[in-house]
Amino acid sequence: MSGAIRIDVQQLPHAEGLVLPVYQSSHAAGLDLLAAVPEQTPVVLAPGQHAMIPTGLVIALPDGFEAQVRPRSGLAAKHGVTVLNSPGTVDADYRGEINVLLVNLGSAPFTIRRGERIAQMVVAPVTRVELVRATSLSSTERGSGGFGSTGR
């Protein structure tokens, strides 16, 4: 992949032996994150339960970028398991472990085993803005119509 942005990554000791995240297809937007839970003690999520799942990864994003932790569609569709704070944001100045907050919205317990693909990480540029206090705003056809207002 030419023009790829290089990102330094460290694997913590509890991720030893796991592969680094990779794209699963040539046009995939997200890198799959793996569960770095102990082999002998997988995490079982009961229906309605959530848990913080370690990946064992620490990354150094370049200035002007973020990483978004997003659900994997297969886990959501097949098991009702998704990322609770989706998308989770990893800021460029964060140097702690990337963890994934998973929730089981399904009807059966779900077991998270070591090395299982649990989420995807999308790295994207960040646009910073400056908020300017105003006494009035320009008008639009939509106006203040909120939730469901465009579906009439």
* Cβ contacts of 30 within 8 Å, gap of 6 or more: 23, 70, 120, 121, 122
At 8-39, the pLDDT tens digits run 999 999 999 999 999 999 999 999 999 999 99
At 27-77, the pLDDT tens digits run 999 999 999 999 999 999 999 999 999 999 999 999 999 999 999 999 999
Q: Which domains are seen in the chain, by residue range?
A: 8-126 (2.70.40.10)
pLDDT of residue 152: 60
pLDDT of residue 120: 97
pLDDT of residue 149: 72
Q: Percent of the chain at pLDDT above 70?
A: 97
pLDDT of residue 57: 98
Q: Which of helix, strand or coil describes residue 75?
A: helix
pTM for the model: 0.89
Does the structure show a pLDDT above 60 at 133? Answer: yes
C-beta separation of 32 from 22 below 8 A: yes
